[in-house]
Amino acid sequence: MSTLLNTSAVHPLGRVDYWTGGIAEHFFETRFSPLGPRPFEGWMKGSQVGPVTIRAINGSPHRIEREPTEISQSDPEHILLYLARQGNFRIGQDDRRCVLAAGDMGIQDTSRPSIVESPGNLSLFVLSFPKQLLGPRADHISQQTAQRLSAQKSPFVQLAAPFVARLASAADRGDLLSHESEGAFEMLLTILQTVHGDADGTTLARHSQRKTMLSQLRAYALEHLHEPDLGPERLAQAHYISVRYVHRLFAASGTGVAEWIRTQRLEKVMKALQDPALATTPIAAVAISCGFTDPSSFSRSFRQHFGKTPSTVRKEYMERSLNRVA
């Protein structure tokens, strides 16, 4: 895994500020304080599997508090899944408290006050899941924070520890192929959903996950329609998923990626042609501002989609507007 933080190269007097800033960069704003008389020592390594980040952390005794002030400053809106490797540490959130030992799991919601405290040296993994990935089940999962999932009582939790460790190493080395990374991402979601499923044992359905991801892809595309290089590669890169997965998500909705983007651009041009404030803006300039680069290809696509040329649409709209004024 790539090293993100390491106090060994920092003077002891500067380690609190160094670690506090590192947590803010890689997680969120917090109040960090070492416990005990010795200077804090720690390191953090990280890797990425799709939209899920994995952080491996080793540290001497310390406390991390997150209060409303810090939440108002920054909230990634993530669910954090902790997997203890060595030592003991406590998670507190709402009015719940739990102590995790090696092999145990527990979760934290970044959007509410919390405390994580380690009275001794510890080693752990932290998996960060964007709540948007969890869809309607995010609220249910976030109500189960600060509860110990015992490795001694759950065979599933016992299996998760070595899987996460090996997956993190493979992702950091770049050993995962695109389809393997896609599958690993869904397996991580399955881990979270399984250990925090509904009371009746049900878990978040995969189609709900894919629907949520498709909504995110479309929202991103709408924000970047004006950029000519917008396409499946950009969408995949921005969301840490494979290009193949992007194509599969759009195909399942009945429309290919390029076709959907082109349609949204055409609709945007149509609105612009009916905007009085843009009445004197050349049609070619309007098309370029919506992401089209080839005027002839744009005109052909516009006529095929709406049955009229862009100039005809603008002329008809202006005539209707003048008639209404008259």
H or E segment to which residue 164 belongs: helix 155-173
Q: How far apart are CA 325 and CA 171, in angstroms?
A: 64
Instruction: Give the mean pLDDT of 245-263.
Output: 88
Q: What is the pLDDT of residues 32-43, one digit of tens each?
A: 999 989 999 999
Instruction: Give the mean pLDDT of 242-267.
Output: 88
Q: What is the pTM of this model?
A: 0.64
Task: Identify the residue with better confidence: 227 or 48.
Answer: 227
DSSP letter, residue 39: P
Residue 49 near residue 181 (C-beta atoms within 8 A): yes
Task: Identify the residue with better confidence: 49 or 287.
Answer: 287
Residue 241 near residue 210 (C-beta atoms within 8 A): no
Above 70 in pLDDT, residue 235? yes
Task: Give the percent of the chain with pLDDT over 90.
Answer: 44
Phi, psi of 50 (to 5 degrees): 60, -140
Residue 273 near residue 315 (C-beta atoms within 8 A): no
Above 60 in pLDDT, residue 200? no
Tokens of 12: 């002891």
